[in-house]
Structure 1
Amino acid sequence: MSVEVQVVREATDEVVGAVARLLPQLSSTAKEPDRESVTELLRSDANSLLTARIQGQVVGMLTLITFPLPSGLRCRIEDVVVDETARGHGVGAALTAEALRLAEAAGARTVDLTSRPSRGAANRLYERLGFQGRDSKVYRFVVQS
């Protein structure tokens, strides 16, 4: 099966529906996206939403974040999710490879991502693609609204 990856430019019904279908497979606490939230995501110059298709159907997504820092241009991969029915077909690898290509083309010094230890297949994929574990802690502050 051939995997086609593209950068999303517009919050079409298909894109909004795909994000709404895929996001719960990644996070049980994320709010359900609507057209407005997907449009806002796409409007940001820092974000590139990539989708992967098999036989025309969106089966995966990834967000590449690009941001300048005093130490150089950096990128971060977030919200990678492949539909349960499409796992094991190279979708995650295709999405990540395209994100890395875009980061390199932009002149990024590094590309970071985080992945829960329980996501064994994803972690093995990232290591196969050349990512290296870092001796670091991730801290999170939850903003109360």
Structure 2
Amino acid sequence: MSVEVEVVRETTDEVVGAVARLLPQLSSNASPPTHEDVDRLLRSEANTLLVARLDGLAVGMLTLITYPLPSGLRCRIEDVVVDDAARGHGAGAALTSEALRLAEAAGARTVDLTSRPSREAANRLYERLGFQGRDSKVYRFTVQS
């Protein structure tokens, strides 16, 4: 079984279903995405949605965000998730490696990501791929709707 990673370019029912199936494994607070939610994600020039497939089935996803700053082009990796049943087949490594390749091809100076300390396997993977921990704090402001 080999993992294939593709850039998602079109909002299809299959893609919306895959995101809806994978997202709860990443965040219990996330609402199920609608077709319009996924379409908005894909239409944004800043976003690149990657999907990992194992035997044709979407088993993982990652969003690469690319944005220019006065200090140079930067990228962030967000919403990385691999289906519980598909872990251990290299989908996370394949997704992250492809995101790094795309960031480098775009001319990004850095690629950042955050990961909870409890995600030990994911953190080991990121370190294996060359990510280094930074001495910083992450702050979040939640907009009340």
Provide the C-alpha distance between the structure 1 equivalents of 2:126 and 2:88, rounded to a whole number of angstroms: 14
The letter of the residue matching 1:58 is A
Provide the C-alpha distance between the structure 2 equivalents of 1:140 and 1:103, rounded to a whole number of angstroms: 25
1:130 equivalenced with 2:139 (yes/no): no
Provide the C-alpha distance between the structure 1 equivalents of 2:11 and 2:27, rounded to a whole number of angstroms: 21
Count of residues in correspondence between the two structures: 145
Q: CA RMSD in A?
A: 0.3
| Aligned twin of 1:36 | 36
Gaps of 5+ in 2: none
In the superposition, the TM-score normalised over structure 2's length comes to 1.00
| TM-superposed deviation, 1:12 | 0.4
In the superposition, the TM-score normalised over structure 1's length comes to 1.00
SS in 1 for 2:112: strand
| Aligned twin of 2:9 | 9
SS in 2 for 1:117: coil
| Aligned twin of 1:117 | 117
| Aligned twin of 1:19 | 19
Mapping 1:85-96, distance limit 5 Å? 85-96=85-96
Provide the C-alpha distance between the structure 2 equivalents of 1:11 and 1:22, rounded to a whole number of angstroms: 16
Provide the C-alpha distance between the structure 2 equivalents of 1:34 and 1:21, rounded to a whole number of angstroms: 12
Gaps of 5+ in 1: none
| TM-superposed deviation, 1:31 | 1.1
SS in 2 for 1:88: coil
